[in-house]
Amino acid sequence: MAYRDEKLSEEKVFKDPVHRYVHVREQVIWDLIGTSEFQRLRRVKQLGTSYLTFHGAEHSRFNHSLGVYEIVRRIIENFTDRPNWNQEERLLCLCAALLHDLGHGPFSHSFEKVFKLDHEDFTQAILLGDTEVNKVLSKVEKGFPKKVADVINKTYENKLVVSVISSQIDADRMDYLQRDAYFTGVSYGHFDMERILRVMRPMEDQVVVKESGMHAVEDYIMSRYQMYWQVYFHPVTRSAEVILTKILHRAKELYESGYNFELKPTHFFSFFAGEPTLKEYLALDEAVVLYYFQAWMEEEDEVLSDLCHRFVNRRLFKYIEFNPNAQMNEWMELYKLFTKAGLNPDYYLVVDSSSDLPYDFYRPGEEGERLPIHLLQPNGELKELSRLSDIVESISGKKRTDHKLYIPLDRLEEMSSRSKTKKRIMEILFDKE
Amino acid sequence: MAYRDEKLSEEKVFKDPVHRYVHVREQVIWDLIGTSEFQRLRRVKQLGTSYLTFHGAEHSRFNHSLGVYEIVRRIIENFTDRPNWNQEERLLCLCAALLHDLGHGPFSHSFEKVFKLDHEDFTQAILLGDTEVNKVLSKVEKGFPKKVADVINKTYENKLVVSVISSQIDADRMDYLQRDAYFTGVSYGHFDMERILRVMRPMEDQVVVKESGMHAVEDYIMSRYQMYWQVYFHPVTRSAEVILTKILHRAKELYESGYNFELKPTHFFSFFAGEPTLKEYLALDEAVVLYYFQAWMEEEDEVLSDLCHRFVNRRLFKYIEFNPNAQMNEWMELYKLFTKAGLNPDYYLVVDSSSDLPYDFYRPGEEGERLPIHLLQPNGELKELSRLSDIVESISGKKRTDHKLYIPLDRLEEMSSRSKTKKRIMEILFDKE
Amino acid sequence: MAYRDEKLSEEKVFKDPVHRYVHVREQVIWDLIGTSEFQRLRRVKQLGTSYLTFHGAEHSRFNHSLGVYEIVRRIIENFTDRPNWNQEERLLCLCAALLHDLGHGPFSHSFEKVFKLDHEDFTQAILLGDTEVNKVLSKVEKGFPKKVADVINKTYENKLVVSVISSQIDADRMDYLQRDAYFTGVSYGHFDMERILRVMRPMEDQVVVKESGMHAVEDYIMSRYQMYWQVYFHPVTRSAEVILTKILHRAKELYESGYNFELKPTHFFSFFAGEPTLKEYLALDEAVVLYYFQAWMEEEDEVLSDLCHRFVNRRLFKYIEFNPNAQMNEWMELYKLFTKAGLNPDYYLVVDSSSDLPYDFYRPGEEGERLPIHLLQPNGELKELSRLSDIVESISGKKRTDHKLYIPLDRLEEMSSRSKTKKRIMEILFDKE
Amino acid sequence: MAYRDEKLSEEKVFKDPVHRYVHVREQVIWDLIGTSEFQRLRRVKQLGTSYLTFHGAEHSRFNHSLGVYEIVRRIIENFTDRPNWNQEERLLCLCAALLHDLGHGPFSHSFEKVFKLDHEDFTQAILLGDTEVNKVLSKVEKGFPKKVADVINKTYENKLVVSVISSQIDADRMDYLQRDAYFTGVSYGHFDMERILRVMRPMEDQVVVKESGMHAVEDYIMSRYQMYWQVYFHPVTRSAEVILTKILHRAKELYESGYNFELKPTHFFSFFAGEPTLKEYLALDEAVVLYYFQAWMEEEDEVLSDLCHRFVNRRLFKYIEFNPNAQMNEWMELYKLFTKAGLNPDYYLVVDSSSDLPYDFYRPGEEGERLPIHLLQPNGELKELSRLSDIVESISGKKRTDHKLYIPLDRLEEMSSRSKTKKRIMEILFDKE
């Protein structure tokens, strides 16, 4: 039997807290899960620094990747025998679903920002390079790794297949909303996925949803909205993110200035240089990063050591609402105050802005645009969701930016000063306590 | 106001997926959670290697410690104003609950076995040594750290307090059963904790349960029974445990024989010598261990390198039922076969036995005896649970040992041999696939 | 001890699927639950005819009333010792919560419409009349029944107390959303009630919610929105409601025209006359109504018999979108067609309109206005929810009316006719199948 | 297309709180659900009088019947293409599953006991008599109603088919355990049904379970054990049952003695005579019974009136442990006391015994023996469950009888007497309060 058609002698299942069971029948899928590149996802947290806000959020991208695979498996089960659906594309979809996050590194968002990397490039590199994953995919058929890469890259010719993996209501999002809600324990993130799957229909170039399922889709959109504001953009998580980013910046800066590290950051050299090889990229998982951060707590450089201490022991910066454009004077006052106190404002006075585009909202570290959701009306016509749903319409496209100033309250407290701004900030922060 | 009575200006809550919210009002508790020794528990998994069997089981001991604290908080809420209960002991109970697992290191079970350590000794050392935790506790009252240590050590004079923290139906067990069930996603581990808490009564020297709650307690005991066999003793988890143990053994052996490591295992030196200091002990968390394992994949020593590869990339040993005492001949046959093939049987032919004592069953890496459960009858008399419950009686005290042989199937396959045992094992394993 | 302060020797609990346990400590509450007027609520379904759409929705108003009581108990638990809260009002709140739905009759909505009754009047009558409930309340204190009646009637002087029982985010709504979601099995209706309860604060004249809880409140509003459209206004439920209404109309009409019933509708006489006494009102529960409907299936009058058949055996009318104002010609065509076929259009050609006012949306059979939700900002100011929440703002005040035509498809099919409208309707209905 | 193969143009689903959705594709199943005999099950509660103990338990047999159908549908989905399974039997199984409880009347257990009826006879009668159900089944194929009847009656020749519907681990039991747990809200009744379904295998003459699923089956057995003692045999439910039985006895006795009823019990005449026709049997649902009970509260006969009052308004008898054989003297004392007080001991002094045979335990009103559970071992051999499972073995076959005395405490209190037994009972009962 051709490798692509090989079935396991008995179906394998993974116990999954979100979908109850993840079912695997194909030898190809089984082999992919067993590759070292896929197993590596166990050492990358799905939600980066969120575990410092929600202690339950310690789950990995391995977890999520299996979940996305399972949802796609169920979507296709419903598509079988429907018009427009080509069962030949099934294995391709399953592989793309399973592997779509393969290129994620540790704390993706910060790493990408500081080192100017893109995890999607690494996903492509892993699929197409000299890897175990590539070997398995190549056994399926010549050119198969490229096909999988194209689907994930949204350049595959069959747009229907692309939209199963990547759209405003794809398996990726349906899994992470539910999974992140489950592990954080928040009460948002629930919607009737079973119903959505039942009303999904394959059209020529995209997956659409029957109009009768509109309310379930609205519910999904609202879940997303709540999860973004309650979990993904949580200011405490962003505080941890700020510190993490500053650690990476500092280490790079020190390295470039010829600083003599106690612990040579060998794993980081190529990242500092901006050009990690695939092997180097894969070697840097979160265990390794945490190892360095712990070692760096003992470094002589005070900034690096202090920031690492803060990250490892969760002594985060506090935050207040702050818009530097509108509050130029206050900003200057603080800047001077920090400088005078010998505290480098570049590292200890950080403004972070988050924006969201409800319905178009993106998650930090995620690709920008996706296909909008189309509803299939009884008369066979398609209409974009926000044209039929008041709720979705009302939250679509509105951009909301939110500026926050992150500072180490403990250090601010120590500064003896009559600064009004300092006084004001202290009051706000103590009120919040 | 005395530090021991200080309240936070506003109650703080942690969102917890198992108990919904963990509530903190005391400044002392808040400060303890913020210590570096407590934050370190985020880097130690609650279920060790179980995440290689149940991908959801990635939660940390930090998670669990907060949960135990919360349950004790609720137990005491019910005890307030009841006879026998001294509200003065409240803070002591809360601290002991929060800190009872403080001494756990990475993959406790294996580390303790190989390096002859006891995490309970380290819990004591952290409480009583030069640590942030000790500083916070000392502020409460002179001698307070010792009191907390005594409660955890079960030597505190007020046995009622001890039994809240540690008995056959204590907060520790109630939390881990529910939490481990939640994160693994298994359907066991559920019982009506709210009801059990409601029927708990403080007696002079122990917590007892009103007889009317017997069925809820039976359900709890059955949950435990199922969790032990379905989760804690799962043979795949034990396979990972076997490999982990062998890695540690090998590294120690190499070190002692003067082997020249590519990556010096500096964090391990004192462990190999059997006498880590407190600081050294605390420095070795699971991120650090995984860092070494990944580095050691590149070591020249084939055994060490191979075993690390297996652990990191989840290429575990396969298992079959095997009792070496009863199957001496087969054992010898395999031993020779492996030796001949150049595969060190000490590392690749491993028999692992698990035992359980239902109702007395203990979890790997856990202290032995605990107080039995007493039911409070309407007439005021106490009766031990198994004397009133048929079900519990029937599973009490029965010792069940289960022997399994762990081997690398891939290597066995390669060995050309006419060994009957090999043939038999291969058949069993392929049947299982 | 005064009756109002009497406690049960041991707390009683009811196992409740929604709130886990309902706790009762007061003798007064216990006695109220035992009255025949309260027990009667077991024979009135919470959701009227919804069980014909959602088979799980068979729960009674007894169920819901206990739930509202429990939520109010928890709200007050959080209020104790807060400014503005007068613990003297506690028992009053608990009684009002428990008894607020006491006047509901069978299938309230239809009965009220057809017989021009108001269940709120009957709630008042039960509280103040010669009833077991009144006896229990009178034992508390002279004038206590009146106080309870005033709270439920929203005329009680302490507006804070009124708003606990009745506002846009009161215990009534929080219970029914969760309970109706639980029993129907829909995935809407979930929100984080525990968090909402924690951020509720008593102010001088109303309960408000801390601004930090805004997202939880948004989630609650969205739940409500979804429940209204998915459950409460479900067109199949409305179809059953239409038939029920027509049965009552027909019976009244026949009675007034001197028709000779096989089974004399003695229980209905005073309803037909529009003036049931309290005793007569209480005697007519849903068991009695169903008894009559089954008996009337055998009546000679074809309309009554047929409609009863349809209701009892769930042979409902089908529906299509239809606006008689805009479709006057079609309406006339159908009217003639039905008349010609000997099918009384007054009973078999029914247009039903539902309206909703999101955020102000009311549930069929429920009182109109309620206090809006105010958020308490950190600076102590109050702001109305929709001024702070985009989502709520966007769905507030929009009136949406939805017209549907209900007809017996089976009868329409039989009519031989070339009517275009008939043809069009048949097509729509068969498409929907 | 033959009627038996007709599919609905679009799959229909019922929202079900236990199984999420019930899926219907066959026209036959859809038509059966629409029959008046099946719709009648909405007016018969699944758990009889249990709603007086657990207020959530108001669900009907309609509910449960759909659930059993859905489980069987899923079982067969797994069986398709497996050896031993004949897909021709699919529709037969689905029909038998849906209709297996069709003959249940109101409060089955009591009615059957008092009037010497058997609901199974009526199931057969409905399937084979002049009914809508029979008409639908007959359209499938001549003799099909008889086949369905035989499967339900366990006399069908293909024993594999019988065991899907009726065995120790059949769809019936799996549904009611989960459903009754859901609606009562108890925390028992959960087990991993999805896993059990996955390890079920069709053998020649029965359904067996793969040995690897043994722990899931143990969990199911334990759920059953807990549900029996916590829910099905709950003494308060039995108290309501006792009163119900006595009402029926009294009405029959009065009727036979020529008593002149205010409200003629026409619906009951044939029951009193012991020979209701099918039509009469079907006409008597729980709405009708409750109608009579309410009417009878006004009867002149004090016993009938009082008992009806007690049932309708939930003024139940209290209970104590009591074994009349061992406590003959106490029994006699009470008997005299009641007689002297003019309270007929036949109606007010009732001993009720419940027995259970764990693993063989039956539910009140349910058929006796069912096929034991066989596990399929890797070597292909079958072993009965209790031979492999310690837990099941330990609770198998043990008969436990439990005697309780039910009395009206309010009346006992009024009796002036120096009876020691009275004094003892009063003490016990007040202690319990």
DSSP sequence for C24-51: EEEHHHHHHHTSHHHHGGGGSBTTGGGG
Q: Residue range B12-35: average pLDDT? A: 97
All residues of chain D having their beta carbon less than 8 Å from the beta carbon of residue A195 are 21
ipTM: 0.94
Q: Could you tell me which chain D residue has the CA closest to the CA of B398?
A: D390
All residues of chain C having their beta carbon less than 8 Å from the beta carbon of residue A390 are 394-395, 398, 400
pLDDT digits (tens, 9 = 90+) for D123-158: 999 999 999 999 999 999 999 999 999 999 999 999
Q: Do A20 and D194 touch (CB under 8 A)?
A: yes
The answer to whether residues C296 and C345 belong to one domain is no
| Predicted structure pTM score | 0.92
The answer to whether residues D280 and D309 belong to one domain is yes
Q: Could you tell me which chain A residue has the CA closest to the CA of D192?
A: A20
Given a cut of 70, whether residue C400 has pLDDT beyond it is: no
Measured distance CA(A126)–CA(A149) in Å, rounded:
9
Of the candidate ranges B306-320, D81-95, D376-390, the one whose mean pLDDT is the lowest: D376-390
Q: Could you tell me which chain A residue has the CA closest to the CA of B298?
A: A283
The chains in contact with chain C, meaning 3 or more Cβ pairs closer than 8 Å, are A, B, D
Backbone angles phi, psi at C273, to 5 degrees: -75, -10
pLDDT digits (tens, 9 = 90+) for B69-82: 999 999 999 999 89
Domain boundary among D290, D315, D340: D315
Given a cut of 80, whether residue B394 has pLDDT beyond it is: no
Q: Out of C20, C194, C195, whose CB is closest to B194? A: C20
Domain boundary among C166, C193, C220: C193
Q: Is residue B246 part of a domain?
A: no
pLDDT digits (tens, 9 = 90+) for D79-116: 998 999 999 999 999 999 999 999 999 998 889 989 99
pLDDT digits (tens, 9 = 90+) for D198-244: 999 999 999 999 998 998 999 998 888 889 888 988 999 999 999 99
All residues of chain D having their beta carbon less than 8 Å from the beta carbon of residue A13 are 198
Q: Is residue C381 part of a domain?
A: no
Q: State residue B366's pLDDT score.
A: 42
All residues of chain C having their beta carbon less than 8 Å from the beta carbon of residue B193 are none
DSSP sequence for C278-336: HHHHHH--HHHHHHHHHHHTT-S-HHHHHHHHHHHTT-PPEEEE--TTTTHHHHHHHHH
Q: State residue D255's pLDDT score.
A: 96
pLDDT digits (tens, 9 = 90+) for D23-66: 999 999 999 999 999 999 999 999 999 999 999 999 999 999 99
Q: State residue A226's pLDDT score.
A: 87
Burial call A313-335: b when 16+ CB within 10 Å, e when fewer: bbbbbbbeebbbeebeebbebbe
The answer to whether residues D92 and D113 belong to one domain is yes
Q: State residue D357's pLDDT score.
A: 45
Residue C84 · residue C164 · CB < 8 Å: no
The answer to whether residues B178 and B312 belong to one domain is no
Q: Which of residues 319-338 of D touch C (CB under 8 A)?
A: none
Torsion of CA D397, D400, D401, D406, to 10 degrees: -130
The better pLDDT of the pair B432, B352 is held by B352
Q: How far is B19 from chain A (nearest CA, A)?
A: 9
pLDDT digits (tens, 9 = 90+) for C28-64: 999 999 999 999 999 999 999 999 999 999 999 999 9
Measured distance CA(B61)–CA(B183) in Å, rounded:
13
Q: Which of residues 132-191 of C touch D (CB under 8 A)?
A: 182-186
Q: Could you tell me which chain D residue has the CA closest to the CA of A11?
A: D198
Of the candidate ranges A136-140, B310-314, B425-429, C391-395, the one whose mean pLDDT is the lowest: C391-395
Interface test with A, best of C178, C199, C217, C225 (most A CBs within 10 A): C225
Q: Do A63 and B58 touch (CB under 8 A)?
A: yes
Domain count, chain B: 2
Token match 């010096």: residue? B264
B409, two tokens:
């199937």
All residues of chain D having their beta carbon less than 8 Å from the beta carbon of residue B226 are 215, 218-219
Q: What do you get for the CA distance between the two ends of chain A, in Å?
A: 66
Q: Out of D195, D395, D432, whose CB is closest to B390? A: D395
Q: State residue D399's pLDDT score.
A: 59
Q: Do B290 and A43 touch (CB under 8 A)?
A: yes
Q: Could you tell me which chain B residue has the CA closest to the CA of A179?
A: B56
Q: State residue C355's pLDDT score.
A: 61
Confidence of residue B358 (pLDDT cuts 50, 70, 90): very low
Q: Work out the angle at residue C350's Cα, subtended by the Cα atoms of residues C346 and C352, and round it to the nearest 5 degrees.
A: 140
Q: Which of residues 22-51 of A touch B (CB under 8 A)?
A: 34, 36, 39, 42-43, 51
Q: How far is A59 from chain B (nearest CA, A)?
A: 6
The answer to whether residues B388 and B407 belong to one domain is no
Which residue positions in chain A have pLDDT lower than 70? 355-370, 397-400, 431-433
Given a cut of 90, whether residue C389 has pLDDT beyond it is: no
> Residue C168 maps to which CATH number?
1.10.3210.10
C292, two tokens:
């009559």
Q: Residue range B82-105: average pLDDT? A: 96
Number of B to D CB contacts under 8 A, please give it.
Answer: 58
CB burial class (10 A; 0-12, 13-18, 19+) of residue D423?
exposed
Q: Do C20 and B198 touch (CB under 8 A)?
A: no
Q: State residue D229's pLDDT score.
A: 81
A318, two tokens:
């506090």
Q: Is residue C13 part of a domain?
A: yes
Given a cut of 90, whether residue D369 has pLDDT beyond it is: no
Of the candidate ranges B9-23, C249-263, C388-402, D337-351, the one whose mean pLDDT is the lowest: C388-402
Measured distance CA(D293)–CA(D79) in Å, rounded:
48
Q: Is residue A406 part of a domain?
A: no
Nearest CA-CA partner of B44 in B91, B111, B136: B111
Residue B94 · residue B73 · CB < 8 Å: yes
Q: Which residue range is the domain that position C289 belongs to?
A: 233-316
Q: Out of A190, A390, A395, whose CB is closest to C398? A: A390
Q: Is residue B238 part of a domain?
A: no
Interface test with B, best of A291, A310, A316, A428 (most B CBs within 10 A): A291
> Residue C254 maps to which CATH number?
1.20.1250.30
The answer to whether residues D189 and D145 belong to one domain is yes
Give kind and range of the element (H or E) at residue C406: strand C400-407
All residues of chain A having their beta carbon less than 8 Å from the beta carbon of residue B66 are 55
Q: Out of A20, A21, A194, whose CB is closest to D21? A: A194
The answer to whether residues D222 and D259 belong to one domain is no
| Other residues' Cβ atoms within 10 Å of the Cβ of residue C400 | 14
> Does D13 contact A at CB distance below 8 Å?
yes
Q: Out of D20, D194, D198, whose CB is closest to A194? A: D20
Nearest CA-CA partner of B102 in B141, B143, B136, B51: B136
The answer to whether residues C8 and C138 belong to one domain is yes
Q: Is residue A94 part of a domain?
A: yes
Distance of alpha carbon B340 from the chain centroid = 38
Q: Do C55 and D39 touch (CB under 8 A)?
A: no
> Does C219 contact A at CB distance below 8 Å?
yes
Measured distance CA(A316)–CA(B34) in Å, rounded:
11
Residue C299 · residue C261 · CB < 8 Å: yes
The answer to whether residues D114 and D247 belong to one domain is no
The answer to whether residues B167 and B127 belong to one domain is yes
Torsion of CA D311, D314, D318, D321, to 10 degrees: 70
Q: Is residue C228 part of a domain?
A: no
The answer to whether residues D152 and D70 belong to one domain is yes
Domain boundary among D288, D315, D342: D315
Q: State residue C356's pLDDT score.
A: 46
Q: Is residue B54 part of a domain?
A: yes
Residue B196 · residue B221 · CB < 8 Å: no
All residues of chain D having their beta carbon less than 8 Å from the beta carbon of residue A198 are 13, 21
> Does B113 contact A at CB distance below 8 Å?
no
Q: Could you tell me which chain C residue has the CA closest to the CA of B14?
A: C195
DSSP H helical ranges for C50-99: 61-79, 90-99
Q: Do C432 and A192 touch (CB under 8 A)?
A: no
DSSP H helical ranges for B48-167: 61-79, 90-99, 108-115, 119-128, 132-140, 144-152, 159-165
> Does D261 contact B at CB distance below 8 Å?
no
Of the candidate ranges A336-340, B228-232, C168-172, C415-419, the one whose mean pLDDT is the lowest: C415-419
| Other residues' Cβ atoms within 10 Å of the Cβ of residue D48 | 24
The answer to whether residues B205 and B270 belong to one domain is no
Measured between alpha carbons, how far is residue B250 from residues B18, B293, B348, B399, C20 in Å? 39, 12, 12, 32, 53
